[in-house]
Amino acid sequence: MKIDKTELNFFQANGYLVIRDVIPLKKINEIRDAFKIIRQKAKKAKTVRYNPKYPDASFILGDLPSFKELEPFDFLVCNKKIVEIVKSLIGNEIVYFGESNTQSGLAIRGNHKDSRVSDREDASGLDWQGDYPLVRVGIYLNDSDIYSGGLKVMPGSHKIPTSHFKLGGVNVDVKAGDLVIWKLTTTHSGNAKRLKLFHKLSFHPKIEDIIPKIFERKNPLERMAMFVVYGAKSEHLNRYVTYFGKRPDTRVVLGLAGTSDIFVERARLAGIDLFRPINDYGVKLMSTGFQFE
């Protein structure tokens, strides 16, 4: 599933792109069911993070290939449609290095970039030299075109070394089964709020935090999303992987990253190179390379 020239130009100009109807709705519902099973098992294994300020939100430790329940969906990381789209955007030699995750419920919002912290506000930083070929793919399992819980972006911010914007940006219209892809240098915020009236309006995250709940158009379904980071072979990728592997919070996650023979073979068939940023990659998994039976 390749993108056309118009889509590529939009991505290069704005730092993000929406691709419609990549995953059929039936599959999305099956993935939601698998997500619930994974979360229940993770609760028993105590591999779920919670934030006391957001009791309805959960972050499951480990990457998508660590969950055998996602094998029927090629762990999403190896979904051929997704991989083909990513290659159309950043090049054919792409690498996966354990950065993918699941999230549920509404949590913290705020403008930020996902690139290396040291360069986010530094125009002379190496991340701003040349084309930056690392992207995050958002796979949303419910609609966020008129409901709260979707992605907000600042178009063109992938070329601007700051996350401090005064305007509200754009709330990205996404239906279940669509993909959103953005560069790690693109300023964005999760958990965007939509109003019951004028749901197209996009406010700064700080304003969203004080909008009374009575005016918000909440999603009838629990927010669920999955995210995957890919990078094209480059010095940018090398620097980011080194940074990612040294972060204390991600070292715990990488200890639970999937290493199964099934995943390795699916990655090979999808044309994805695999890299392990730390020596303890997957060390906390079962012998099968998965988290759970």
pLDDT digits 0-9 by tens, 198-241:
899 999 999 999 999 899 998 999 999 999 999 999 999 999 99
Tell me, yes or no, whether 35 lies in a domain.
yes
How many domains are there within the chain? Answer: 1
pLDDT tens digits along 53-100: 788 888 999 999 999 999 999 999 999 999 999 999 999 999 999 999
Tell me, yes or no, whether 291 lies in a domain.
no
Tell me, yes or no, whether 47 lies in a domain.
yes
Tell me, yes or no, whether 286 lies in a domain.
no
Full residue range of the structural domain in which residue 9 is found:
5-274
Tell me, yes or no, whether 280 lies in a domain.
no
Tell me, yes or no, whether 213 lies in a domain.
yes
Given pLDDT bands bounded at 50, 70 and 90, which one contains residue 293? Answer: confident
Tell me, yes or no, whether 69 lies in a domain.
yes
Tell me, yes or no, whether 185 lies in a domain.
yes
pLDDT tens digits along 15-67: 999 999 999 999 999 999 999 999 999 999 999 988 787 888 889 999 999 99
Share of the chain above pLDDT 70, in %: 100
Query: What CA–CA distance (Å, rounded) separates 97 from 257?
Result: 9
Check which CATH number belongs to the domain holding 179 and give it: 2.60.120.620
